[in-house]
Structure 1
Amino acid sequence: MLRAMDGIPDKTLLAIAKAISNNEKLLALVLELDFSYADFVNFKATNHSGGEVTSSGTISMIFTWKETTRREDQVRVLSKALEKVGLVEVVEEYLLVRDVADGSEQPLGESNSASNQAEPVRSSKGNRINHYVSQEQLNKISREFPNENFESFSLKLGIGANQANNILVKHCKDYRKALMEILMAWKNRTSGPCQDLEDYLSASGAEDLIANILYR
């Protein structure tokens, strides 16, 4: 049984990867975790070696995701993604969390303690300006985002490393222009929910931009 704040242990994550490695819903899950279709193809290809079906590609994918996700967010994000693509049984088997208030077990999406832990952090920043991010806000993010975290942030926005680098080269290594293109593509694809963007910024080492740009 897990505590959300502790993150997902490697042993549990390995078991999850093996359980879903060749599931027909794997593509939907990969996209839900903000990888690209090209990433899925690469991960899936390594699930087959020497004529044998393995889990190595899925294991690589899910541990790559873990490396770019804050420890306290891991159970919530993965539980939500699994539930959304119809893999509730995986959540129930591996990702039940302890409700610290009453000691009960619940899927994280229903955990009172998890939601209560998140609220004070957001409310302390003030009031979020809007539900969906504006182009003006994205422009500010592209100008102020740290270049060294460009690749990890692009991954969260659904753009694989190779594609992100190609976009950067296209803009002559101008990180602001490259990131703006990636941000606008994400906004056009998803409408640009601020909550998701806040999570991505936090996971990519740009937490200082959240209060300055998304809140007032």
Structure 2
Amino acid sequence: MMRAGESEPAALATLAALAAGAQQPCSLAVGRVQRCDEDHAGLTVEIDGRALPAQVAVGCLVRPIEDDRVLVVDGPAGAFVLSVLERTGPNYATLALPGHGNLAIEGETLSLTARQRLALKGERLDLQAKALNLIAEKTTWLSKAVTTIAERWRISAKSHETSADILTEKSLNRIAIVDQIDTLRAETRSVKITGVASETAQSKVIAVADDLRMDGKRITMG
């Protein structure tokens, strides 16, 4: 691999010296990728007009694509692409192990910065942390099922809207505090209380269009 500040000829000379010190001879050359296998583990490199089958070295994390200019080492074990030197095609790169192997990145602090868009895709996405902060001007969740399990769930918003075909709430105890106005609009409402129902107000008005009916063994008013 090329050291920081080292030119391409100097890097070739360094790798050539290492190859010369090996027990069996190896040769270094610069070639151009002609074809890549489906798993991107093997490819065909053109060197001085001849096609050479080669494998992608584990240390070559930038996945080669067709028409890339690459550094190749050829020895008794076969030819290996060590690194991608130049890309004349699209201005992008994929970091991956040959043959779609697993890749892990570890560090005290990791930072991913995207100027326009950051995409995370996978069959399953796991996020684990002691604290998770998500800051966005707009957030959209699209899912067939969402399950949340928490000891305490708190929502604070200037405006909170919930829209659903069926809305079900179940709890051992429920406390609703409305400081100003509480409005309920429904076509039909049914309330069933198995215990005691108590309602206290400074004044209350009941208005019906047709009938008002009160049933009970004892009705006390006043």
So what's the TM-score if we normalise by structure 1? 0.19
Q: Flag the structure with higher strand content.
A: 2
Q: Which has the higher contact order (CA 8 A, sep 6+)?
A: 1
Higher helix share: 1
Q: Calculate the TM-score normalised by the size of structure 2.
A: 0.18
